[in-house]
Structures are given as structure tokens and as C-alpha cells.
A and B are shown apart, each in its own frame.
Chain A
Amino acid sequence: MIAVRVLYFASLRERLAVAEEQVQLAAGSTAADLIDALAGRNDLHRQAFADRSQLRIAHNRRFASADAALADGDEVGLFPPVTGG
């Protein structure tokens, strides 16, 4: 198992009413696995991560794709999708 620090930003933070938390994942997990795990928690999380293809992910403070491999102690920042134009 690995533990990653998850930071929520903007409307995600407001929606989930949490700024950050530690999440346990199986070794070899990716950012996409993390989002799947979060979305599977309850209805609130499922709705918050419904548009996950447009979610912006910062892995150890660098923007990365959802297939970024996570390691123990990593930090993942999650930014809600930008909408409108």
C-alpha cells in the first residue's frame, strides 16, 4: 500500500468541504486510480468527479496526466474542470 496526500482546489474544495487528506492506495496506482477510488466513495464524490476527463491534476506540484504513476508520500493536487468561454 502507498499513502498519497490529496489537495483539493477551488470548487472541488468547496463541494467536498475538505482542503486535503491522506489516501491509501494499492502500490502501482496511478492518478486515474486515485480519482476512481475517490469517485467511488459516495454520491457527493461521484458527482464531484463526474467530469474526470477534464480534471486537472498536479502530481508533486507539476501538472501531469491521469496516467502518472504514484509513489508513497506523493502529493496530488486536483483542480476542477474549467467551464465556459
Chain B
Amino acid sequence: MAEEEKESFAQLIRQQGIVAFGDQPLVPPAPGAHQRLPESGGAATGRTRAMLPADHPDLECHDDSWHASGQQRAMQKAMRANCCQESIDLHGLKVDEAWSAVDEFLDRAQQQDQRVVEIVHGYGRTRNSPSVLRGKVRGWLAASDEVIWFCQPKGNKGITVVGLRSRRRR
């Protein structure tokens, strides 16, 4: 295999978030590298709209769940079914980087009609110092018109599962 092909293959592996292959450790992916959703139908899907309120990025929400009117059953059903379709990991990202990453992730998910996705923001370093990103992420979600519910999976404060409004129904 040519060096160029090897590098191309290694890059592809990193993009998929694979950090080890057998006994061979691979270079950890850069933050955000494994968070991209596949392009639908091979066509490039450009950024179409802001999913989060750009004019108020310092919002916080410390509730474990929230739902829009009439969406409680949909939320409970999705959580029972564990039907999360895509995930983004925010570990290693600063707040402003996380904002952009989540905004882009939700936009792409909605373009591909993903209705239930997952955001991994972490627990925080200690019991008395909860994840800063958790409160921020949930604040952004609570302020978004495109989010119809969000919920913390039972026993896992490091994750928020998000229900997205369908773009096809408009």
C-alpha cells in the first residue's frame, strides 16, 4: 500500500472515531472528528439555519428533562425504545467550540430527518463540580425552537438525549 493510501486509510479510521485496532493504538481523533453525520445520498448538505439561539449563548438549564406541549409521551416512548440515532461527544471542547459543534450537529441531524440524537457532555470532574457543559447544552436546547424535548437517560448525567422537530412536516 502506498504511503498516500496508508495516510488516507488512517485518516478515514480516525474520522470514524476508532482509537485502537487490535493491539495497535491509533492516534486519538481530533475533537469533533467522529461527530460528523454521513452525507445523505452522497450529496453535500450545507449549513441551512441556526439551531441554537446565537444571541444568548450563556443560557443555562439545570433540569434533567424538558418537553414542549404535547411531547411528553413522544419523549417517554423514545427513551423507552432507546432509539437514539446519532451521537456527538463534546469532551475536550471549550464552551464556544461546543456551541458551534452542537449547532452544526443538530442542523445536520435534522436535515437527515434524525428525530432522536444524543449529546455527550460529560459528568464534570467531581461531585461538587458538575459539568459546565451540561448546564450550557441544556440551556441552548431549552431555548431552541427546533428541540421538542430533551431528557437525561436514567443514571447517566453525562448524556442528554434530544428530540428534534421534523423539518419535513412543515
Contacts and interface: CB of A to CB of B under 8 A. Distances in A.
Contacts of B138: 63
Interface residues of A, number: 19
B139 A63 contact: yes
Interface stretch (A29-37, A39-47, A66-74, A76-84): A76-84
Given A82-B165, A84-B165, A84-B169, A62 B61 contact: yes
Interface string A43-72: 000000001011010100111000000000
A77 B135 CA distance: 16
- Determine chain B's interface SS by DSSP, over half rule: loop
A85 B165 contact: yes
B136 to A, nearest CB: 10
Nearest to B141: A63
Contact of A61 (B58, B70, B71, B145): B58
A53 B68 CA distance: 10
A54 B71 CA distance: 12
Nearest to A63: B61
B148 interface: yes
